[in-house]
Structure 1
Amino acid sequence: MTFSRLTQPQHTGTAPLRDEAAVSGDHAWHAFREAVANELDSYFEGLGDSVTQSPGFPMLRLRVREQVTGGKLLRPRLTHLAWRAFAGRTEPIMRGETRNIPDPDCVRLAASFELLHAALLVHDDVVDRDPVRRGRPTVGELYRRDAQNVGAPSNEAQHLGEAAAIIGGDLLLAGALRLATTCTADPARLQPVAAVVFDAVTASAAGELDDVLLSMHRFGSEHPAVQDILNMERLKTANYSFEAPLRAGALLAGANQDDAARLAHAGSRIGVAYQVVDDILGTFGDPRITGKSTEADLREGKATVLTAHGMKDGRARQVLADFAAGRASVTQVKTALADAGAETSAVELATELVAQAEDALDQLPLPDAERAELNSICHYVLHRRK
């Protein structure tokens, strides 16, 4: 199965996102991302100074640190983008970033979102029982193997792995909140920025819970509607990944609450579209590219926009029921969903959400460079392969 619709040109008004580099200036973005990496290194190095008597802690620190590497740094990029969009209007001197000197407050806030992302991924891997993330063993899987290698029974090894991963996720979460609540010395900006981050953590917890509860449909309850799934995806991921970085970055730069909220609204649409595409990749993607299984969502009974669409088709609904009862294979489910038009419907939904985001962005007083970058991100969301 290929993403024929995803690889066709969509109307976004810009070229595809080539990589993580900012449309408004590759040098500025590369300098900023390097500063974020240094901020993260400083955080983890500091942990070694404060915790010195636990023999197991150095390995945990190393393993959770690895969870912060290899990503697209999308959340720091969005934080930086929103900050740039408003910094020049509130304090012209902040535009000193044009000399490729990243603003330290923005760097620290951006790093907090990357730690938050890593924390939630580590916890999500426990919830979803995923042994692989970005093509590498998860924190829990590494500890499970450790326990297995010393002779622990399989159930005890699994429990130890999950316990260690929960602890590691907590460590990352604490770091995210620490950086967010110390990102600026200006109390007038710190309070609203920190509130955004705390709200994002709360929303993600609620969304994760909804995701778990929505999967109960496989035990006989009614399959969730598409809107229920979209609401869950907004809470669980789109909020902390798109809405919050854009809102917090704008507020840190001195934007008023209305403009920050409008920017976050556009981010919400982009973020939910991102998750819809993630659903598609989670079922029809190439594991060699995505770095994760294309069977896990189905085996876990995840309610996605794909399965919601499939429930409207008689044959796909029967195959899904047979799969839940152990009478059909993953391959048969994928074929039935594709034949029912689930992938096509999901692509159309993602495209509509991105169009709504672009309409919202058109109403905002954004500089040309930052507007172009946001449009590029919209295009990337629809065309990404992993």
Structure 2
Amino acid sequence: MHVVDSARVTPRDVLTAYLDEQVERATPYGRDYHDLWTAIRETTLGGKQLRPELLMGTYRLLGGDDHPLAATVGAAVELLHAAFVLHDDVIDHDDTRRGRPTVNGRFTDSALAAGSAVGRADALGAAAGILAGDLALGAAVRLVATSDAAPHARQTLLDLVDHALFATAAGELADVRYSLGETPVDLAAVITMEALKTAVYSFELPLQAGAVLAGAGPHVLEHLGRFGRKVGIAFQLLDDVQGVFGASADTGKSVLTDLREGKHTPLVTHARTTAAWAVLQPVLGDPELTEADVEDVRRALETSGSRAFVEDLADDYLRAARDLARGPDLPEGFDTWFDSMTEAFVRRVA
């Protein structure tokens, strides 16, 4: 892979070059495999690049000036995100995202068009989604492991990626178990699950990776970890609200998904303690849930105060993050940059 050594190089530049190379390399392995990498490329490059932005911004504020190196690790973080999304689409049985077929949806559709039975087509789609996620995950680790980072920095980066993998897998598994509805889950457990599933890899990892590349010390890394955890939880809380109240065109996935899957989000956890539960319980986890049912759920969550509770909780986490952003371990201007980033990602889930 060749990327121009320039202060203008971006993670998207690195991603584009890397994924183009993988698509080209895939050709001798057959049409299906070539199509798989093409789908991975489209999924990954179609993202908003929030995580690379966090990494690059932190790196610059801490005095880093090797932009190609930071862009390479930023690309790795985005590939890691893509891997989790690809797997999550299979887990949640999502066949569309942002109005386009997911990788599993794409392969399912192609099998159906070729005359396969629904069950067999679904099996092919699930296999493609899992394999695509595996390939993206391997590519993310490879980019970090072969980067030009100094050996000690590279080892620390790999440790951070390893921690993110552990945390995300644990959070994802807990999310699925909670959706079984075997026992009530309290708010603290749900918040911990969401921190593991989202905050660690989406916020802690890119912030800390940027700091590692800039040569920051352990106090800065620890501070950024606590900061990233608060921001990540706030982000996920807002995303949960939009998962029910948002428009599919904005959120990228159906408003039916979380409810059909029986996700025990903070909205659901709070609703258990209110009159909204009488409306929510009968449809939670129902694969036949309709848009009309969602309207009833929305009204119940509004009138019971569950939506306001979760939005207020997100505000509390954001305020705590702002306090940490002004800490002495972080560089001057970090809080201002954070405010601009906060506005951007809140818009993305609003």
**TM-score of the alignment, normalized to the shorter chain, above 0.5:** yes
CA separation in 2, counterparts of 1:302 and 1:48? 35
Distance 1:259 1:84 in 2: 14
CA contact (8 A) 1:85 1:250 kept: no
- Work out the CA distance in 2 between the residues paired with 1:186 and 1:281: 41
Task: Tell me the distance in 2 between the aligned counterparts of 1:249 and 1:324.
Answer: 40
What is the letter of the counterpart of residue 156 of structure 1? R
One-letter code aligned to 2:40: V
Identity percentage of aligned residues: 37
CA distance in 2, matches of 1:367, 1:321: 48
Structure 2 residue identity aligned to 1:319? V
User: In the alignment, is residue 78 of structure 1 matched against residue 62 of structure 2?
Assistant: no
Partner of 2:4: none
Distance 1:62 1:51, change over 3 A: closer
Work out the CA distance in 2 between the residues paired with 1:384 and 1:325: 27
Matched, 1:108 2:68: no
**Displacement of 1:222:** 2.5
**In 2, distance between residues paired with 1:160 and 1:246?**
37
2:20 match? 45
Give runs of aligned pairs for residues 1-386 of structure 1, distance below 5 A.
35-48=10-23, 50-55=25-30, 56-87=32-63, 94=65, 103-217=67-181, 221-313=182-274, 315-324=275-284, 329-385=293-349
Please provide the CA RMSD for this pair. 2.0
Paired with 1:363 and 1:124, the residues of 2 have a C-alpha distance of 35
Contact 2:56 2:210 (C-alpha < 8 Å) held by counterparts: yes
Task: Give, in angstroms, the shift of residue 49 of structure 1.
Answer: 5.6
Distance across 1 between alignment mates of 2:85 and 2:276: 31
Alpha carbons 1:106, 1:249 under 8 Å: kept: yes
Give SS of 1:129's match.
coil
Gapped runs of 5+ residues in structure 2?
1-6
Q: Deviations over 1:39-87 (max 9, x none)?
A: 1122223324644431122111110100112322111011111211223
| Deviation at residue 361 of structure 1 after TM alignment | 1.4
> Contact 1:276–1:305 at 8 Å: present in 2 too?
yes
SS at structure 1 position matched to 2:44: coil
In the alignment, the residues of structure 1 paired with residue 110 and residue 235 of structure 2 have an alpha-carbon distance, to the nearest angstrom, of 35
In the alignment, the residues of structure 2 paired with residue 44 and residue 261 of structure 1 have an alpha-carbon distance, to the nearest angstrom, of 33
TM-score by length of structure 2 reads 0.92
Aligned length: 340
Q: Describe the shift of the 1:289–1:302 C-alpha distance in structure 2 as closer, same or farther (beyond 3 A).
A: same
Q: Which has the higher contact order (CA 8 A, sep 6+)?
A: 1
| TM-superposition CA deviations, 1:247-276 (whole Å, max 9, x none) | 111011100112111012101100110000
State whether residues 259 and 285 of structure 2, in contact with CA within 8 Å, keep that contact through their aligned partners in structure 1. no
State the shift of 1:182 in Å.
Answer: 2.1
Structure-2 change in CA distance of 1:107 and 1:343 (3 Å):
same
**What is the letter of the counterpart of residue 239 of structure 1?**
V
2:168·2:197 contact (CA, 8 Å) conserved in 1? yes
CA contact (8 A) 2:279 2:296 kept: yes
Q: Distance in 2 between matches of 1:224 and 1:346?
A: 16
Closer/same/farther in 2, CA of residues 201 and 67 from structure 1, 3 Å limit: same
For 2:270, the aligned partner's letter is H
3-state DSSP of counterpart to 1:294: coil
The 4+ residue runs of structure 1 with deviation greater than 3 A are 48-52, 324-328, 364-370, 379-386
Aligned partner of residue 282 in structure 2, secondary structure? helix
When normalised by structure 1's length, the TM-score is: 0.83
| Cα distance, 1:119–1:224 mapped onto 2, change above 3 Å | same
Q: 1:325 to 1:147 in 2, by over 3 A?
A: closer
Structure 2: distance between partners of 1:342 and 1:258? 37
How far, CA to CA, are the matches of 1:346 and 1:355 in structure 2?
14
Query: Can you list the C-alpha shifts for 1:169-190, whole angstroms capped at 9, x where unaligned?
Result: 1111111001112223411211
1:323 counterpart SS class: coil
Secondary structure of 1:364's counterpart equals coil
1:16 match: none
